[in-house]
């Protein structure tokens, strides 16, 4: 019996690679990664250090897969998300962000 699995990897911003595979029912995350070809296509992926997940939850390489699972290979963060948000906010200014972006005519400040 075969199962269908999708393996997803994003080597860079706005670049998402997705491969659909048909594997045996007893396949693991590691077998799906090897069958996807991403390990050969992107040699920067280090299985010892890489974090992988199934449907957004961390998974071990030995975790068995089920029908229609989505295996994701995560990249390490290059910038702290909080720092990136602060920088974006500082660049666009307080008056053009969030609640203050659009005002109704005659509305009070902050509403």
Specify the pLDDT at position 50.
84
* pLDDT averages per 10-residue partition of the chain, 111 residues: 93 90 92 92 86 93 93 88 85 62 64 51
Residues 6+ apart with CB under 8 A from 100: 94, 110
Specify the pLDDT at position 90.
81
Specify the pLDDT at position 98.
59
β-sheet bridge partners, residue 15: 12
Specify the pLDDT at position 109.
61
Domain 2-74 has CATH 3.10.20.90: yes
Report how many helices (DSSP H) and strands (DSSP E) the chain contains, helices first.
Answer: 3, 5
H or E element in which residue 111 lies: none
Pairing of strands 15-24, 2-12: antiparallel
Q: What is the dihedral of CA 65, 66, 68, 69, to 10 degrees?
A: -40
Sorted by where each begins, the domain ranges of the chain are 2-74
């Amino acid at each position: 019996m075969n199962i269908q699995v999708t393996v997803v990897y994003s080597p860079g911003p706005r670049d998402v690679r997705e491969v659909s595979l048909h594997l045996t029912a007893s396949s693991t995350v590691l077998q799906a990664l090897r069958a996807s070809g991403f390990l050969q296509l992107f040699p920067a992926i280090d299985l010892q250090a890489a974090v992988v997940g199934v449907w957004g939850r961390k998974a071990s390489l030995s975790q068995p897969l089920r029908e229609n699972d989505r295996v994701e290979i995560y990249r390490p963060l290059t910038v702290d998300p909080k720092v990136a948000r602060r920088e974006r906010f500082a660049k666009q200014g307080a008056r053009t962000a969030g609640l203050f972006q659009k005002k109704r005519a005659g509305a009070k400040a902050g509403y």
